[in-house]
Each structure stands twice: as structure tokens, then as C-alpha cells.
């Protein structure tokens, strides 16, 4: 059995993690910028302005909450990023097997919910 609480990250794991995290963040924010542009260019009524504001409020909370670069949180963060399509499992190659197994476990749990 793997140790669910092993939070040790080797130097090479940290490098992989940082890159994966930053790349996912860049992708998600680029997609958000594109979506904001799309919505802004479709504003034809005042209520569309406030709908865009509500959308940004929601996204900002969601993104602030999700991107948490504490080593104790990274397994969960990576699982969320994979689930939402901002990261692929392949980009985490090189992380310890037990971390990858915990990520897969979370993904399996969510996929059957």
C-alpha cells in the first residue's frame, strides 16, 4: 500500500510539478481571457455586462481556490486540473508512483460520482 500521507517531494519532482502547474495555469487563464473577449464582444444589453461581471467573480473565486501551490495540496490540485482538462497525466511523468496513484484514485472517484 502506498503511504497516503507521504508529502516528500524530491528536487526533480518539484521541477516537474512547477512546470505542470504553471502550464496548466497559463492554459486556463488564456482560455478564460478568450471567453471574456467572446462575451464582451457579444454585449448588446446592460444585463450582459452584469452577467460578465458575475461570470468573472465566479471564475476568480474558483481559480483562487484551485491554484494552491502547497506541497500538501498539489496531488489534489493536479487531479482537479486533469479532471478539468488543463493538464494531462503525461505531464506528471517523473512524479513518484504513490503520488500518481493518489491522483488516479481521485480521478476514479470523481468519474464514478
Residues at the contact surface with a second copy, assessed by CB under 8 A: 25, 29, 32-33, 36-37, 39-41, 43, 46, 48-50, 52-53, 56-57, 60
Output the smallest distance, CB 40 to a second copy, in A: 3
Nearer to a second copy, 66 or 105 (CB): 66
Q: Measured from the CB of residue 75, what is the shortest distance to a second copy in angstroms? A: 24
CA dihedral 45, 58, 108, 104 (to 10 degrees): 120
Query: How far is residue 87's CA from residue 79's CA, in Å, rounded to a whole number?
Result: 9
Total Cβ atoms within 10 A of residue 41: 7
Amino acid at each position: 500500500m502506498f503511504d497516503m500521507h507521504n508529502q516528500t517531494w524530491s528536487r526533480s519532482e518539484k521541477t516537474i510539478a512547477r512546470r505542470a502547474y504553471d502550464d496548466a495555469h497559463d492554459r486556463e487563464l488564456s482560455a478564460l481571457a478568450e471567453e471574456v473577449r467572446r462575451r464582451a464582444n457579444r454585449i448588446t444589453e446592460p444585463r450582459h455586462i452584469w452577467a460578465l461581471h458575475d461570470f468573472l467573480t465566479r471564475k476568480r473565486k474558483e481559480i483562487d481556490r484551485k491554484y494552491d501551490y502547497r506541497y500538501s495540496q498539489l496531488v489534489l490540485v493536479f487531479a482537479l486540473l486533469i479532471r478539468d482538462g488543463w493538464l494531462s497525466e503525461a505531464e506528471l511523468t517523473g512524479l513518484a508512483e504513490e503520488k500518481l496513484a493518489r491522483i488516479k484514485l481521485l480521478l476514479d472517484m470523481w468519474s464514478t460520482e
